[in-house]
């Protein structure tokens, strides 16, 4: 009952704030004027405000679900598109499109981003699988370093071929340029999220490890690469439209897991709702802080995400020590630190 209540609260809050966000912006929209059929205000609503809201919702849902999938498959709560080099790889793919196909459309750049994001994510997981001893913190640190290497190569090529300004739109996430006709690519998030829900139980099993998966007849490598591909495609479709937005896939699944556990099927809906709500709130803050100007949502998410990330880190470390002490007290032996996080890989 409590879990259903949480879902209902998230859904109602999201609906209310979504309606409010339609009326937040440089140009004031008036409900009575809209209902009277004012064409100018109706155009603003349909061309700018509504596409922006839909892009925000798809971004929040997509990045949160992508992070949840990666955390479940890697059995590590600090793995996400940000710490798994997925975002950096997508940006590298966009740069390749700008270099080799400078006249390419949004879909052409998206194709490069899709391929690069999938390959970069696969390479990260393949490398992690080759590390014999790894703990909860080491895995995302390796991902961050791997992402920095890709980011360094991207910046080097951008400087060398004078593409820094052209690439800048995808380095910092923002919704200010989201208009009708320029954001529809992000709708790819919806079928990918549905596909993730259909394979949620398989992702849970694969997260238990290769031997466990084989015993239950689940093809480990196939499901692993399917899940990683879904997460990478979701991330790339968002990066191409709105740019890089960090921390969402890291923070949101962890917050939801505190209340609803770690099973992906039981938390996927709440993760999607809370992710959309979190991004929507950050966007409204960015529009209101220095109005009529606007702060990039990457900045707001980065500040709030960093604070929450540090809080989650201390929370999990404290709870881990408590669990070890309770286990030692129950068996009458000395507490022995356990290696966890990433063991499934």
180-190 pLDDT, tens digit per residue, is 777 788 899 99
Q: Give the C-alpha separation, 300 to 337, whole Å.
A: 36
At residue 325, the pLDDT reads 58
pLDDT (mean) for 35-46: 83
Look up residue 319 and give its two tokens: 């709870």
pTM value?
0.85
Statement: residue 143 has pLDDT above 60: yes
Statement: residue 23 has pLDDT above 60: yes
The CATH architecture annotation of domain 2-17+46-169+178-327 reads Orthogonal Bundle (1.10)
Q: What percent of the chain is predicted at pLDDT more than 70?
A: 90
pLDDT (mean) for 265-288: 90
Least confident segment among 48-57, 77-86, 114-123, 286-295: 286-295
At residue 338, the pLDDT reads 40
Question: What pLDDT digit, counting tens, does each position of 54-83 carry?
Answer: 999 999 999 999 999 999 998 888 889 988
At residue 328, the pLDDT reads 53
Average pLDDT, the chain: 84
Residue 242 banded pLDDT, cuts 50, 70, 90: confident
Q: Give the C-alpha separation, 64 to 198, whole Å.
A: 17
The angle subtended at Cα 229 by Cα 170 and Cα 68, nearest 5°, is 80
Residue environment code for 196-225, b if the CB has 16+ CB neighbours within 10 A, otherwise e: bbebbebbbbbbbeeeebeeeebebeebbb
Residue spans per domain, the chain: 2-17+46-169+178-327
At residue 275, the pLDDT reads 93
Least confident segment among 6-15, 215-224, 312-321: 312-321
Diameter over CA atoms, the chain: 76
> Which of 166-180, 206-220, 225-239, 261-275 reaches the highest mean pLDDT?
225-239
Between residues 192 and 298, the one the model is more confident about: 192
pLDDT (mean) for 71-99: 90
Residue 340 banded pLDDT, cuts 50, 70, 90: very low
Between residues 54 and 345, the one the model is more confident about: 54
Statement: residue 198 has pLDDT above 80: yes
- Residue 190 CB burial class (10 angstroms; 0-12, 13-18, ≥19): middle
Statement: residue 335 has pLDDT above 60: no
At residue 2, the pLDDT reads 58
Residue 232 banded pLDDT, cuts 50, 70, 90: very high
At residue 69, the pLDDT reads 94
């Amino acid at each position: 009952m409590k879990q259903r209540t949480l879902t209902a609260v998230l859904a109602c809050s999201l609906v209310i704030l979504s309606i409010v966000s339609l009326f937040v912006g440089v140009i004031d929209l008036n409900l009575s004027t809209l209902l009277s059929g004012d064409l100018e205000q109706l155009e603003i609503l349909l061309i700018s405000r509504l596409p922006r809201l839909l892009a925000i919702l798809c971004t929040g849902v997509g990045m949160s679900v992508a992070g949840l999938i990666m955390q479940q498959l890697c059995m590590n709560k600090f793995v996400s598109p940000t710490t798994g080099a997925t975002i950096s790889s997508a940006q590298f793919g966009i740069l390749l499109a700008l270099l080799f196909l400078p006249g390419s459309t949004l879909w052409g750049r998206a194709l490069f981003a899709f391929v690069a994001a999938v390959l970069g994510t696969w390479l990260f997981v393949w490398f992690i699988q080759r590390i014999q001893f790894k703990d909860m913190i080491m895995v995302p640190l390796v991902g961050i370093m791997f992402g920095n290497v890709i980011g360094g190569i991207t910046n080097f090529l951008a400087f060398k071929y004078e593409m820094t300004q052209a690439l800048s739109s995808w380095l910092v996430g923002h919704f200010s340029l989201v208009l009708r006709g320029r954001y529809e690519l992000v709708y790819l998030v919806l079928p990918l999220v549905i596909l993730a829900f259909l394979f949620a139980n398989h992702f849970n099993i694969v997260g238990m490890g290769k031997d466990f998966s084989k015993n239950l007849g689940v093809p480990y490598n196939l499901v692993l690469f399917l899940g990683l591909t879904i997460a990478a495609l979701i991330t790339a479709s968002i990066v191409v439209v709105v740019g890089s937005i960090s921390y969402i896939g890291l923070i949101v699944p962890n917050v939801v897991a505190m209340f609803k556990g770690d099973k992906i099927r039981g938390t996927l809906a709440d993760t999607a709702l809370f992710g959309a709500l979190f991004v929507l709130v950050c966007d409204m803050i960015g529009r209101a802080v220095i109005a009529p100007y606007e702060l990039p949502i990457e900045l707001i998410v980065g500040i709030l995400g960093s604070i929450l990330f540090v809080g989650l880190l201390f929370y999990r470390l404290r709870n881990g020590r408590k669990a070890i002490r309770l286990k030692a007290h129950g068996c009458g032996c000395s507490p022995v630190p356990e290696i966890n996080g990433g063991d499934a890989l």
